[in-house]
Amino acid sequence: MSDKNTTHFGYTEVPVEEKARHVAEVFHSVASKYDLMNDLMSMGIHRLWKRFTLYNSQVRTGAKVLDIAGGTGDLTARFSTMVGERGQVILADINASMLNVGRNRLIDRGLAGNIDYVQANAESLPFPDNSFDCITIAFGLRNVTDKDKALASMFRVLKPGGQLMILEFSKPADWLAPLYDQYSFKVLPKLGQLLTRDAESYRYLAESIRMHPDQETLLSMMENAGFERCQFHNMTAGIVALHRGYKF
């Protein structure tokens, strides 16, 4: 178990102040092939998980949305059309390489007018209190060093009545767990080696998922941060869960 001076980087104990650097190295390594690997790893199902998240976002024309750990911009692209010209979407990511890939991809698609890009740490978001109608973080929370601090930061910048949505790998059903472990620790690193020449980053991915809080634990963490009406919805037998909570 980690003490107050160390934290988990996958299964490895590292000093707290070094985790962000280790995570950054992972995403610098995989940024250019990130979308391709997502499609291969999930067999394309990640697009359905994100579509479900967007459907439940309740985002309307004119809304202001913060997409944390937005990476290559999948959610941001759709939010841009949902909020329209009067709305605003901020794609935020701690990793410069991922942010650049996302910016270039969205500009190439002609989506620029209502999107801003901010390199930011989820633990200390550089925005005023009560700024956003909706905040999303998809497949990013498990990489955050201090998740409680990040949840508190998200609560601060969310408007009263606003919704936080956390899409993240979670704990699968017991019947699926053995097969999922075999896939995660045997197949994923080989895919990573084949496509990015980086097996270690995908070994970290598998380990980081196992170290992430399970569904009920994350729900309690959201409630402790002040969110209300918290709930989660399991997808693909719990491999992924969408957590939702509101600020009132």
The answer on whether 93 is annotated among ligand-binding residues is yes
Distance of CA 232 to the CA centre of its chain: 15
* Amino acid letter, residue 83: V
DSSP H or E stretch at residue 7: strand 6-9
The answer on whether 72 is annotated among ligand-binding residues is yes
Distance of CA 41 to the CA centre of its chain: 16
The answer on whether 12 is annotated among ligand-binding residues is no
Phi and psi angles of residue 197, each rounded to the nearest 5 degrees, phi first: 55, 35
Calpha distance 86→234 (Å, rounded): 33
Q: How far is CA 58 from CA 31, 38, 47, 49, in A?
A: 30, 25, 18, 16
The answer on whether 53 is annotated among ligand-binding residues is no
Pairing of strands 6-9, 12-15: antiparallel
CB 117 within 8 A of CB 102: yes
In the annotated binding site, the residues are: 72, 93, 121-122
In the annotated binding site for S-adenosyl-L-methionine, the residues are: 72, 93, 121-122
